[in-house]
Amino acid sequence: MSTGELKIEDLHAGIPGREILRGVTLTVRSGEVHAVMGPNGSGKSTLAHVLMGRPGYEILSGTVTLDGIDLLSLPTWQRARAGLFLGMQHPIEVPGVSLVTALTASRPEIEAGEAGADAGAGDVSERMRAEAKRIGFDERFLTRSLNVDLSGGERKRNETLQMGVLRPRFAILDEIDSGLDVDALAAVGRRVEEATEEWGLGVLAITHFRRLLKVLKPDVVHVLSAGRVVATGESELAEIVDRTGYAAYTGVGP
Ligand SMILES: Nc1ncnc2c1ncn2[C@@H]1O[C@H](COP(=O)(O)OP(=O)(O)O)[C@@H](O)[C@H]1O
Ligand SMILES: [Mg+2]
C-alpha cells in the first residue's frame, strides 16, 4: 500500500494573458478521495490540465509535488511515471491506436508504479480484461481505435479501465461521471473507491454531482470558484451544494 501525497501550493496558472487559477492550495494523501466541485468555468479542468502538463498553459507561481518530486518541471510522460494519472473530461479519439497498444506501451509506467511488488504487469492484456469486466466495458473496444465512435459513457469507462490497469499513485478524474448511465456510474464509482483500498490510490475527483459521491465517498470536498478554493469541508458540503447551489460560496446567484 503506497503512502504519499500530491501537494498543490498557491498555484497560479492560466493561458497567455489570462490568469485562470488564482492561488489553489490543497493536498491529497494516498488513499484519500478529494472532490472538487464548482460552477462552469471556475477552472476545474484547467487545474487538471496544468497538473498533467498539457501544452498551452502557463504556470505563473506556486508548486505541485508528488511525494516531494517537483511535477511542474517534468514533461507529461515523466509525471505519469511518477504516478500521476488524468481521466480526461473529453477523452480524445486516437485513430489507429488501440487500447491494447497504448497500455502495452505504458508497461514502464505500470512497472514503475509497482516497484518492489511482484509485478503482474507482464500480462497487461489479462489485466485489461479483468478491469473491463469489473466496469462492464465491452472487450471488443480493447482492440479498436482508442475512443473512435465511442459514446461519452463508453469513453469514461475507457478512462477508468486505463486507471485500473496503470494503477497510478494519484488519479485526477475530470467529470468521470458525465455521460454514464446509473449502472455504469455505480460500477465506475465502485472501481475507483476500491482502488483507494487496493493500492492506496489518492483521488482528485472533479464532479458536479453528488450521485458519484454516494459511491466514491469523498474524505474532503472543495468548492472552486474563479480559480480559488472558496470552501473546504467534509462530505456534507457536497450535499449542501447539491441542495442550494454555489451562490453561498461564490457570491454569484443562480
Ligand atoms: N486553452 C484555453 N484557451 C482559452 N480559454 C481557456 C482555455 N482553458 C480554459 N479556458 C477558460 O478558462 C476558464 C476556466 O475553464 P475550465 O478550467 O475549463 O473550467 P471548468 O472545468 O471549471 O468548467 C473558462 O472561462 C474557459 O473558457
Ligand atoms: Mg471542466
Q: Say what the pLDDT of residue 254 is.
A: 47
- Nearest ligand by distance to the CA of 36: 1
Q: How many other CB atoms sit within 10 Å of the CB of residue 243? A: 8
In Å, what is the CA distance from 1 to each residue of 116, 133, 163?
11, 24, 16
* Helix segments in the chain, DSSP class H: 44-52, 76-82, 99-105, 107-113, 124-135, 152-166, 182-198, 210-215, 236-244, 247-250
Looking from the CA of residue 40, the nearest atom of ligand 1 is 23
Please give the backbone phi and psi of residue 238, each rounded to the nearest 5 degrees, phi first: -65, -35
Looking from the CA of residue 224, the nearest atom of ligand 1 is 22
- Nearest ligand by distance to the CA of 16: 1
The set of protein residues with a Cβ atom below 6 angstroms from ligand 1 is 15, 20, 38, 40-46, 56
Per domain, the residue ranges of the chain are: 5-95+168-250
List the one residue out of 168, 163, 167, 6 whose CA is nearest residue 71. 6
Report how far ligand 2's centroid is from the alpha carbon of 225 (Å): 12
Q: What is the pLDDT of residues 42-93, one digit of tens each?
A: 999 999 999 999 999 999 999 999 999 999 999 999 999 999 999 999 999 9
39 in Cβ contact with 252 (< 8 Å): yes
110 in Cβ contact with 97 (< 8 Å): no
**Position of cell 472501481?**
191
Length of the chain: 254
Its CATH architecture, for the domain 5-95+168-250, is 3-Layer(aba) Sandwich (3.40)
Q: Say what the pLDDT of residue 233 is.
A: 96
Q: What is the pLDDT of residues 93-114, one digit of tens each?
A: 999 999 999 998 887 767 766 6
Q: Which of 11, 12, 20, 172 to mutate to test the pocket of ligand 1 (most atoms within 8 A of CB)?
A: 20
Cell numbers describing residue 65: 509535488
Cα distance between residue 139 and residue 129, in whole Å: 7
Report how far ligand 1's centroid is from the alpha carbon of 198 (Å): 34
Whole-model pTM over 0.85: yes
Q: What is the pLDDT of residues 208-226, one digit of tens each?
A: 888 899 999 999 999 999 9
191 in Cβ contact with 135 (< 8 Å): yes
Cα distance between residue 11 and residue 53, in whole Å: 13
Report how far ligand 2's centroid is from the alpha carbon of 61 (Å): 22
